[in-house]
Amino acid sequence: MTNKKILITGGAGFIGSHVVRLFIEKYPSYQIYNLDMLTYAGNLANNSDLNDKPNYHFIKGDINDSDFIDGIFNDFGFTDVIHLAAESHVDRSITDPLAFIKTNIIGTVNLLNASRKLWKTEPNHLFYHVSTDEVYGSLHNENEFFTETTSYDPQSPYSASKAASDHFVRAFHNTYKIPCVISNCSNNYGPNQFPEKLIPLFINNILTKKPLPVYGKGENVRDWLYVKDHAIAIDVIFHNGKLGETYNIGGFNEWHNIELIHLLCKVMDKKLNRKEGESAQLISYVTDRAGHDLRYAIDAQKVMNELGWKPSLQFEEGLEITVDWYLANAEWMQNITSGEYQKYYDEMYANRA
């Protein structure tokens, strides 16, 4: 179907903004509706270059409001949904789990219900649910990887809420035959990421010469993927994924936090003309995150073998591009970190020292 009307939720956030841009530019015949409530994590500056595109439409609204959601499905007649809107930060989920239950579970079910009512049993629709590898829990054995058949074992309020939302998507597929697909991706990095997450937070602290708060011993392992590679995977799965299936997406790129942080410090020293080793002196070991998952590692062979996707960038290259972006977009960072952010930062990190 070329005249698709795709609802992308969370399109003013980090990953969503890259997915919206890719779809707008690659598929001029699709109408793209970006629904975002503009929480602290949503930022229209992430999409400001798209405002004049004839196939781009922004809708401000809350996925937790079922009447509003039903209303826009009726008004616009969406043919497909790519659902990214979520509360996405583990540390915030430890402080306020209920906010995650509301948006990540109830918000997802509101969208599923609206899709079910509008599409009934018509074919040629798709509900694409964007999820995380964190639903699988924490790995402790070096030879283990998360595959699509790994049992769910979420360990944080964030991952528990995402796991529940995945279960609801599958339940709606099974019960109401909603055409759906789910992908579970590893940690993303790149332009436009809110500086509560490791890489942009550390870039900002290095820039401003503030301590770099490493949780615990920095021994936790994450598998990092450049955000535009995630957006490309979503495009590939949206168009060619099999209905009812799950696809794991990852970079085959595992880093101990402390090794990643040393690499980031080295890149930043070079870019800022600082003496090598200067930024690493800011490293400060702080109280660990409660229930901190030790290791995430994705086996992405299914999406690679069946759909031909693969990561395009080496991590060193992606990290350098990312640092360049943050340095070139100092105003973007200043606008975010000048207001409420400082309060968040002080509260989140006050008791960690």
Active-site annotation, residues:
133-134, 158
- Between CA 244 and CA 246 the distance in angstroms is 7
Site for ligand TYD contains 257 (CB under 6 A):
yes
Q: Where are the alpha helices (DSSP H) in the chain?
A: 14-26, 66-76, 90-95, 97-100, 108-119, 157-176, 198-207, 227-240, 257-271, 301-307, 315-328, 330-337, 340-350
Residue in 7, 81, 107, 182 binding ligand NAD, rule: CB under 6 A: 107
Torsion, Cα 93 95 100 102, to 10 degrees, reads 170
**Quick one: which of 162, 161, 9, 165 has its CA closest to 98?**
161
Q: What are phi and psi of 143, to 5 degrees?
A: -85, 0
Closer residue to ligand NAD (CB): 6 or 282: 6
Least Å distance, CB 294 to ligand NAD, is: 17
Residue in 4, 6, 7, 14 binding ligand NAD, rule: CB under 6 A: 14
The region of 37-45, 113-121, 267-275, 303-311 touching ligand NAD under the rule CB under 6 A is 37-45
From residue 214, give the alpha-carbon distance in Å to each of 5, 211, 219.
44, 9, 9
From residue 278, give the alpha-carbon distance in Å to each of 260, 265, 298, 320, 345.
16, 8, 34, 18, 23
Closer residue to ligand NAD (CB): 41 or 268: 41
Closer residue to ligand NAD (CB): 88 or 246: 88
**H/E run at residue 34:** strand 31-36
Cβ-closest residue to ligand NAD?
A: 13
Site for ligand TYD contains 93 (CB under 6 A):
no
Taking CB under 6 A as the rule, which mask of x and - marks residues 76-95 in contact with ligand NAD? Answer: --------xxx-x-------
Contact at 8 Å (CB) between 257 and 198? yes
Residues in 176-195 at the binding interface with ligand NAD, rule: CB under 6 A: 185, 187-188, 194
Select the binding partner of residue 220 from ligand NAD, ligand TYD, none (C-beta < 5 to 8 A, by kind): ligand TYD
Residue linked to tokens 């395009």: 312
Select the binding partner of residue 86 from ligand TYD, ligand NAD, none (C-beta < 5 to 8 A, by kind): ligand NAD
Site for ligand NAD contains 16 (CB under 6 A):
yes
Give the interface with ligand NAD as residue ranges (CB under 6 A). Answer: 9-10, 12-16, 36-39, 41-42, 62-64, 84-86, 88, 103, 107, 130, 132, 162, 185, 187-188, 194
